[in-house]
Structure 1
Amino acid sequence: MISLVKPNRPRFTDVEGLAAMVGSGDVFGVGGHHFARLPIALLGAIARSDIKDLRYVCWAGGLPLELLLEADAVAEIDLCFSSLDIFGLPPRFRAVAETNAVPVRDWTALAMIQALRATQQNLPSMPFQLPQGSDMLARVPGASAAPDPIARTETGFIPPLRLDTFVVHAQRADESGNVQIIGPRALDFAMAGAARQVLVTVEEIVPVGALRQDGRQSILTRNQVSAIALAPGGAYPASCLPFYVTDYQRLSEAFATKETPLADSLRLPSEGMPELLQEAAKVRVETALAMPAVAHGEKKASVDEIIAARIAAEFDNDSFASAGAVSPLANVAYRLAKATHAPDMIIATMSCGHLDIAPSPMILSLIESLDCETAVAHAGGDDTYATYYQAGAVTHEIVGAAQVDRRGRVNTIALRKRDGGLIRLPGQGGMADVANMHRDYLLYVPRHSVQSLVDDVEIASSARGLLTQNEREPMGYRTGEALVFTDLCVFRLDRSSRELIVIETMPDITQQQIRDATGFAVTFDADCREIPLPSNDMLDVLRNRIDPLGLRRLEFVSAKERGALIAEILAADRIMVERCMVAQTAGG
């Protein structure tokens, strides 16, 4: 058993001093979330230090994992999901996963949370709800199913997951070593509690007592922290609110450049943090709401707009919708519903880290800061799983799927090529858990084809295993709809046959077109109808109030088209951010 008790006074050092505390072979965790509060400066120093054989353990891979893989510092990978957000799948992760150069173990989010908590709470194991209908239990290291000793019902159990080192970037520390985290905290607290040493970089070091002046913060108390380094801009080009927003332009350039090492491409400019990023972090929601949209010139409703409006129609004032890791379409649909017909619905973004946000415009560089500003509360993933997901309180979480079969099972882990090789996909994140926990199970497949709608998935990464009321009620879950939206139709998972049937078709799409594009025999509901076109008022809100940059389009283009669309979005994003900054300055 590794002792997790730390001294009451953490050591203060510099970034290189923190990097020197990491050992080859460490079980290594990284804090932050998506492109928020990632310890990029510290990861760069670790990558340069010739550390080897790390066991990378984290809910997400993404940019931190890419940096460490580039440095050949990783020997094993344990994660739930790996993505570069709007930029697609991480190439280095894909390369090592597809060739098995580095072993990859896929976890469900709940199993990882409970394994960390077992360590944190000094327990030999922790129970968790089984991911019914999926293949994930067999894939999670050490997980097993057994009768609960009291209720005797089949329950999942997971052994402790211990970390040697956990690294995280935070906003501030005081001079005694208490660390302040503002905004969503992902799994930071659970990982810190499961780590032998916790290494933190911060934007500022402030006098003792100063942290009490800030609202909506979380504190890692000084006896949970091993060492701290002052590193202004230490998350760049990721964000660290309220200091600066994410530099999407820099990220785009770094991912597109093959000649320059990623670690060098992502370094903070020698002249310091770009002023645009600092000023953008100060833009308020009322300023963003007053900005005119960047015109796209559409007249007729496009496929992405029809689907967004149709999904929005699923929500009402009692809905509680959670936006997952990389779901622009879902995010648009949620905000559209709340801005039109469902003002009382609750939206949670950043994987439930921002709770009950206002439906502010999806301006790429400002989404995080506006959600952070308007959220009623900020939380961590471990908190929200217990409070909302496991409790069955969330009604909807719409998730994109690479492949769905006739029984509504999803594969987001890997596809087998004709030559026997693998195409690695991002992973299931937390979908294996919440597919059963949420009242309504909603999926979308942006490009309906025989490759995406198949007879049987090779790996069922998530599924609605508990479908009927008799199956769901004993588990404490509400019974709702199970739907799959595509660019051709809407399927419903029938509770009797437990197979998908078409209940709606897209405008001007024939039943034969759907049959030809589907990899299983298609059944049409007797009352199958055509999806109605969104009204002009709905389109106006969608285009000008909710998604002025057209982020929803990213889900409907091919990989070849994505680069040009991202460049267009980034150019429009900068225009809107600069307009917001000018307007805010003029308004005082």
Structure 2
Amino acid sequence: MTDAPLRESLVKPNRPQVTNLDGLAAMVAEGETFGVGGHHFARLPIALLNAIAARGTKNLAYVSWAGGLPLEILLEAQAIASIDICFSSLDIFGLPPRFRAAAEAGTVPVNDWTALAMIQALRATEQNLPLMPFQRPAGSDMMERIPGAGTITDAPSGETVGVIPPLRLDTVILHAPRADETGNVAIVGARALDWPMVAAARKVLVTVEEIVPAGELARGDRHAVLTRNRITAIAKVEGGAWPTSCLPDYVTDYAALHAAFASDAPLSRSLALPASRFPADRRAAARIPAATASGVRFPVAINRGAAAASPDEAMAVRIAAELDNDSFASAGAVSPLANVAYRLAKATHAPDMIVATMSCGHLDIAPSPMTLSLIEPFDAETAAAHAGGDDTYSAYYQGGAVTHEIIAAAQVDRHARVNNIALRRKDGGSIRLPGQGGMADVANMHRDYVIYVTGHRKLSLVDTVDIASCGRAYVTDAERAAQGYRPGAVKLITNLCVFALDSESRELVVVETFAGVTRERIVEATGFPVVFAPDCEEIPPVSTETLEILRERIDPLGLRRLEFVGSRNRGGLLDEIVALDRDLVAFLAARTTPKGSAA
């Protein structure tokens, strides 16, 4: 990353420059520390990323909460010199191949951060401080991996806390639905880490769908505004986020993403906006109200009419049973099974629970159906509030207000420690995984630490993880009270059984088994000695009513299945789901008059 003085002014002029796409791209210089706004497949500045790649800009130090598609575009262009992230994934499409190849070969150095450490490092820059404190990710190996992280001891209490120096960015790029003529920029929906990244950047370059007269940002959809003195330059680029979304104008084009990832063609070509016209159905889908899907019997529903629950359904129902009316559940970055379970619980036995999606960017959503295209607009519409990751860490996570963030694990050991960073190969190399995101933080902060593994086998359930990317250090009631956290449970749910962490031995114990699963099968599939609780019992069958709600209302496309297939079979399943999603969107579009249209 670029050398910088301890403190410097990041104040910008009151009126941003208005330019074009090439003008913005030309402002990104070789060797800069470079960040990208947006979130998963939402509001990614794809057109600007392609323009930067086309210019041949090199040696960028990529620093963002997530890698994902932006990082893939820049790695393909050989523009990246180093990577600092919390995780990198292509969501339902799996691991990013260019990131994985670079990390495994060691051709590009990778630094893994916890989300809270990155937030606080950006805040240190924003608040003109030499460092910021943060709760240590105790129980994990992450403190040794975060660049510049250290500890200090509070003299009065004797408590040790983490500290992190400022994280300064040369350039941050964003896409937004609109700006006004004076340079204020409006964003709709989840904000990820856009706000602290903007505050920590020397230059902020923004593409927008439209530029409206001054004063008009106050009208229309719910939005948050970046004031004009935080923006360096703006360019109007219609469709500048395609094939990702830009609410309220258009939704993610999963068919286009699927085709691009399945193709051997360069991403810069596959992700170029069609010259002839913008895909009209993506704009139409953004105008479908969430109420259109309420109580609807969809034309397709996976496993409709099957008497027994499939393994993915049984796991979804069992995860949902962890939740009640007092739950506050945050959906992780790439956890469709957990997201389905949250919505199922809220639609059945826990109507008062709070569900937050897009990494807690959409707060208190309604349990709308899980679809590809409409998850984001439905959640943004029904959410009580929109937020950024920095907001929710401060308001909810750090104080222990969230009860659950039930997250998938690649490797788990007998102490319930998780490894989602890298697996060691027998030849001494490694298999790169997405990363821990915010798991190292929330393993202690959230009341209940619940993880799941969809394929219970010895390679996944091991005696000791290769890297402890997260784990719960504060287990007993007394330990948690001393940290200001509520007492809570630690559980591991697999496709065979449910483990609970014993507070005395601090080891996992089997407390429930799925129907028809023998103890012998569990022992044979587990890489550490298995202990069964004296009162271990079989999980009861799923009721017909619950199955119908799951299949008909919550997950008609069967997105949950994506966590139960290997990479070889994922392409065919994605073909099916993308096609079903198109049909479902067309079905809902035909049932409603678009918002803003005459009846």
Measured against the shorter chain, the TM-score band is over 0.9
Once residues 295 and 539 of structure 1 are traced to their aligned partners in structure 2, the CA distance between those partners, rounded to angstroms, is: 11
Residue 267 of structure 1: how far off its partner (Å): 0.8
State which drifts further: 7-16 or 145-154. 145-154
Query: 1:203 pairs with 193, 196, 209, which one?
Result: 209
Amino acid at match of 1:191: M
Map residues 31-42 of structure 1 onto 2, 5 A cutoff: 31-42=37-48
1:239: which partner in 2?
A: 245
Name the amino acid aligned to 2:501. L
Question: Quick one: distance in 2 between partners of 1:342 and 1:19?
Answer: 49
How far residue 149 of structure 1 moved from its aligned partner, in angstroms, is 4.4
Report the Cα distance in structure 2 between the residues aligned to 1:148 and 1:273, rounded to whole angstroms. Answer: 57
Work out the CA distance in 2 between the residues paired with 1:18 and 1:150. 50
Q: Does 1:403 align with 2:408?
A: no
Say if 2:295 and 2:553, in contact at 8 Å, map to a contact too.
Answer: no
1:300 and 2:331 are equivalent in the alignment? no
Q: Which residue of 2 aligns with 1:433?
A: 441
Structural mapping, 1:516-527, within 5 Å = 516-527=524-535
Matches within 5 A, 1:135-284: 135-258=141-264, 260-284=265-289
- Native 8 Å contact 2:497 2:512 kept in 1: yes
Give 1:532 deviation, angstroms: 1.1
User: Is this contact kept in 1: 2:301–2:558, CA < 8 A?
Assistant: no
Q: Which residue of 2 aligns with 1:21?
A: 27
Aligned counterparts of 1:582 and 1:188: Cα–Cα separation in 2: 35
Q: Is the 8 A contact 2:205 2:234 kept in 1?
A: yes
Q: 2:16 corresponds to which residue?
A: 10
- The separation in 1 between residues aligned to 2:169 and 2:220, in whole angstroms, is 30
Give the deviation of 1:480 after TM superposition: 1.1
Deviations 1:474-526 (A, max 9, x none): 11111111100001100001101000000001110100100000000000000
How much does 1:150 deviate?
4.5
- Aligned residue in 2 for 1:568: 576
1:537 corresponding residue in structure 2 = 545
Q: Which residue of 2 aligns with 1:380?
A: 388
State the match for 1:357 in structure 2.
365
For 1:292 and 1:235, the matched residues in 2 are separated by 32
- Give distance in 1, aligned partners of 2:156 and 2:385: 35
Percent of matched pairs sharing the same residue: 64
Q: Distance in 2 between matches of 1:159 and 1:90?
A: 30
How large is the RMSD of aligned CA atoms in angstroms?
Answer: 1.0
- The 2-side partners of 1:150 and 1:569 are apart by 57
Contact kept in structure 2, 1:351 and 1:381, CA below 8 Å: yes
1:339-363: CA deviations, max 9, x gaps?
A: 0111100000000000000000111
Question: Partners of 2:465 and 2:324 in 1: how far apart?
Answer: 33
2:95 matches 1:82: no
Alpha carbons 1:135, 1:459 under 8 Å: kept: yes
Over 3 Å counting, the alpha-carbon distance change for 1:291 and 1:268 in structure 2 is farther
Find the aligned partners of 1:553 and 1:299 in 2 and give their Cα distance. Answer: 18
Q: Which amino acid aligns with 2:288?
A: V
Shift of 1:306: 0.8
Secondary structure at the aligned position of 1:584 is classed as coil
Q: Secondary structure at the match of 2:373?
A: helix
For 1:311 and 1:91, the matched residues in 2 are separated by: 30
The question of whether the paired residues in 2 share the 8 Å contact of 1:39 and 1:168 is answered with: yes
1:184-219 CA-to-partner distances (Å, cap 9, x unmatched) read: 111001000000010000011000000011353111
Q: Contact 1:291 / 1:579 at 8 angstroms: preserved in 2? A: no
> Following the alignment from structure 2 to structure 1, what is the Cα–Cα distance between the partners of residues 43 and 534?
51
Q: 1:471 aligns with which of 476, 479, 495?
A: 479
Q: Distance in 2 between matches of 1:291 and 1:102?
A: 49
Cα displacement (A) at 1:438 = 0.3
Which residue identity does 1:113 align to in structure 2? I
The CA distance in 2 between the partners of 1:61 and 1:295, in whole Å, is 33
Q: Is the 8 A contact 1:322 1:349 kept in 2?
A: yes
Which residue in the other structure is 1:117 paired with?
A: 123
Does the aligned pair in 2 maintain the 1:182–1:241 contact within 8 Å?
yes
CA contact (8 A) 1:291 1:576 kept: no
Question: In the alignment, which residue of structure 1 is the partner of 2:500?
Answer: 492
Letter of the structure 2 residue corresponding to residue 574 of structure 1: R
Q: Are the aligned partners of 1:315 and 1:342 in contact in 2 as well (CA < 8 Å)?
A: yes
Secondary structure class of the residue paired with 2:118: helix
User: Could you tell me whether the CA contact under 8 Å between 1:291 and 1:580 is conserved in 2?
Assistant: no
What is the SS of the residue equivalent to 1:241? Answer: coil
Distance 1:34 1:124 in 2: 31
More deviation, 364-373/265-274: 265-274
- Give deviations 1:406-447, integer Å, cap 9, x for gaps: 000000000011111110000000000000000000000000
Q: CA offset at residue 272 of structure 1?
A: 2.4
> Over residues 1-26 of structure 1, what are the superposed CA-to-partner deviations in whole Å (9 max), with x where a residue is unaligned?
34311000100000110000000000
- The residue matched to 2:275 in structure 1 has which SS? coil
SS at match of 1:364: coil
Q: Secondary structure at the match of 2:593?
A: helix
Q: Which residue of 2 aligns with 1:54?
A: 60
Unaligned runs of 5+ in 1: none
The residue aligned with 2:317 is 309
Partner of 1:501: 509
TM-score normalised according to structure 1 size? 0.99
Aligned partner letter, 1:541? I
Aligned mates of 2:296, 2:430 — CA distance in 1: 45
Please say if residues 407 and 500 of structure 1, whose CA atoms lie closer than 8 Å, have aligned partners that are also in contact. Answer: yes
Asked if 1:418 corresponds to 2:423, the answer is no
Which of the numbers 120, 130, 136 marks the counterpart of 2:136?
A: 130
> 1:151 and 1:170 mapped to 2: Cα distance?
45
**Is the 2:221–2:248 Cα contact (8 Å) retained in structure 1?**
no
Distance 2:156 2:225 in 1: 36
Q: Which moved more, 1:306-315 or 1:534-543?
A: 306-315
| 2:341 counterpart letter in structure 1 | A
Find the residue that maps to 2:142 and give its secondary structure: coil
Please tell me the residue identity of whatever aligns with 1:278: R
Deviation of 1:289 (Å): 2.2
Residue aligned with 1:501, SS: strand
Shift of 1:152: 2.8
Residues 34 and 62 in structure 1, CA contact (< 8 A), matched pair in contact too: yes
Deviations 1:438-466 (A, max 9, x none): 00000000000000000000100000111
Alpha-carbon distance between aligned partners in 1 of 2:222 and 2:390, rounded to the nearest angstrom = 17
Residues paired across the two proteins, number: 587
CA distance in 2, matches of 1:272, 1:49: 25
Query: Which secondary structure does the structure 2 equivalent of 1:504 belong to?
Result: strand
The one-letter code matched in structure 2 to 1:340 is T
Residues 62-101 of structure 1 aligned to structure 2 (within 5 Å): 62-101=68-107
Alpha-carbon distance in structure 2 between the residues aligned to 1:217 and 1:147: 41
Deviation readout 1:73-106 (Å, 9 max, x if unpaired): 0000000000000000000000000000000000
